[in-house]
Amino acid sequence: MAKSKQEREFEALLALEGGPPVRTIATAPMTNPSTAKPSTAGQNLAQPNAKHSNAAQATDNQLTAAKAAAAVAVGLGSAPVASSPPAPIAARAAATPEPAQPTAAQWLAELNERDERFAALQHQQVELTRQLTAAQARLAQGQAEAADLIKRQSDADSERRVLSRKVTDSQHQIAELRRVLDRADRRDLLRQRGLNDDEQVRAVVHLVRCYKLAALAALLDSDPQPLTRLLERIVVSCGAVACTPKHDDVAVLEVSRDRCEVCGGSDSRQAFALFCQLMHQLQLDRYTVVGGSPAYREMLRDLNRTFGTGLHLTTVADLRPDADKRARQVRGLVIIWGATAVDHAVTGHYRQAGDVVLEIAHRGIGGMLRKAAELLSMPRA
């Protein structure tokens, strides 16, 4: 029996997709209407039309089922099921084959690759964020350091301006002092204090800085005693620790070591140690120093507290109403420091006091102690 056009197209589609051959649906043979019985003529004419209609219907159903199976096979990646597409679709499929669809494994590999790229991008983002945070921290630190430098520079500028004003004020004061010295000549007092020309100017500057108006008044006063008392508050020191007073009520004038009135170019502590040794040899445990400037008396007390083991020191600076009674009670060694500012009325009470009396005309502590040790080491009548 000859196949219809739809059946041939369907078989061609199945052959392209590799499906099984289609079973041919048998149809009943058609009868000759001229040989049919009259009573059944109408039934025989209708029967072939019905059979052809059923065959066409079956072919359409098979074609629809094949399409559905082919679609499912493409989606699942399995072999397609034979179907009967319509004639136009079959013709296009035969002319141009469809591209192969990716399998599930390929899709999974691509997804894994995308995940790896995404994870790498996330790691890169975290690293960039860390670098940005570190850069921001360094920027903040740099800004803080810059602000600190600006502040310190501002403080330094302020300090420089203050120092500049102080230097200017000191220069004005020196100029004023020079004019004062020109009007009221007090150079004899300064020379009596043992100061040379350069030391005299610096000594007056120190006095003005320490005592201000009192120093100016003493310089302008016609009475020399106020200036003399102020000059006795000047410590002519080489700047060594042992030669620098520890109290503030003095004006320290730094000079070279050979000009130092404390050590005289040698260690004043050695001179005091030798003095103490001779005092112990002579079995003298007390000594009284009459005179001396306030600064040197304080430095002598410091030496005695530190190194004068077993020795008792008494200093006398001024005349008191009971001076004669106190002088009679003195025991031990009496040192009259004659080169310093002391009233002779005071020294008169102590010239006959004590067991041993020494008169030393030396201004510095070191020189006075060495002279005292020299006199103590000499044999006495």
- Three-class HEC string of 203-229: HHHHHHHHHCHHHHHHHHCCCCHHHHH
What are the residue ranges spanned by the domains of the chain? 5-32+42-95, 131-231, 268-377
Quick one: average pLDDT of 248-253? 77
Among 27-41, 113-127, 261-275, 336-350, which stretch is predicted with the lowest mean pLDDT? 27-41
Inter-residue contact 279 to 376 (CB < 8 Å):
yes
% residues pLDDT > 70 (the chain): 67
Q: What angle do CA 126, 127, 131 make, to 5 degrees?
A: 120
Partners of residue 315 on adjacent β-strands: 289
Q: Which two tokens stand for residue 31?
A: 């009868």
Is the pLDDT reported for residue 137 higher than 90?
yes
Closest-CA residue to 208 (of 184, 178, 238, 183): 178
CA-based radius of gyration for the chain: 65
Residues 34, 40, 46, 50, CA torsion sign: negative
Q: How many other CB atoms are there within 10 angstroms of residue 51's CB atom? A: 16
- pLDDT classification of 292: cutoffs 50, 70, 90: confident
Per residue in 146-175, pLDDT (tens digit) is: 999 999 999 999 999 999 888 888 888 777
For residues 349-358, average pLDDT: 85
State the Cα–Cα distance between residues 347 and 362, nearest whole angstrom: 15
pLDDT tens sequence across 320-351:
767 778 888 889 999 988 755 555 666 777 88
Least confident of 44-48, 190-194, 196-200: 44-48
Confidence band (pLDDT; 50, 70, 90) for 2?
A: low
Going across the sheet that includes 286-290, the strands are: 312-316, 286-290, 333-337, 356-360
Domain 268-377 has CATH 3.40.50: yes
pTM above the 0.95 mark?
A: no
